[in-house]
Amino acid sequence: MDWAKHTRRILVRLGEDATVIGATTVTARGIYSAPYQRLGLGIDGGIASSNPRFTAMTADLPATPTAVVTSRGTHNISDIQPDDPGGLTVFELFDD
């Protein structure tokens, strides 16, 4: 199975175009998600938060990416998590 080809078919249906800013600026098709996350602060304390991410094909991304522009705004990249076997890269995002 050609994993990259299969993943690209999924991105065509479920993904969205975003501008990824790095050494160059490119348009990449990917999936934006902001899953709910509860950050525990003790016995009964906690903070409700979201953990926004953008996932795209590694081959479509520029070197040294720093920000992603989606329909939701501009997001700085706080962490880059490459998935070498799958050919995907996950960006953890934050807003200024």
DSSP state of 62: P
Q: Is the pLDDT of residue 42 over 70?
A: no
Mean pLDDT calculated for residue range 19-24: 97
Average pLDDT of the chain, as a whole number: 87
Q: Which fold has domain 3-94?
A: Thrombin, subunit H (2.40.10)
What's the average model confidence in pLDDT over 48-63? 88
Minimal CA–CA distance to 69: which of 36, 27, 35? 27
Q: Is the pLDDT of residue 96 over 70?
A: no
Looking at the predicted structure, is the pLDDT value of residue 49 above 70? no
**Across residues 55-83, what is the average pLDDT?**
94
pLDDT band with cut points at 50, 70 and 90 for residue 44:
low
* C-alpha distances in Å from residue 62, one per residue of 27, 36, 38: 10, 28, 32
The pTM is what?
0.82
Taking residues 16-40, report their average pLDDT: 88
Determine the Cα–Cα distance for residues 18 and 94; give it in Å rounded to an integer. 15
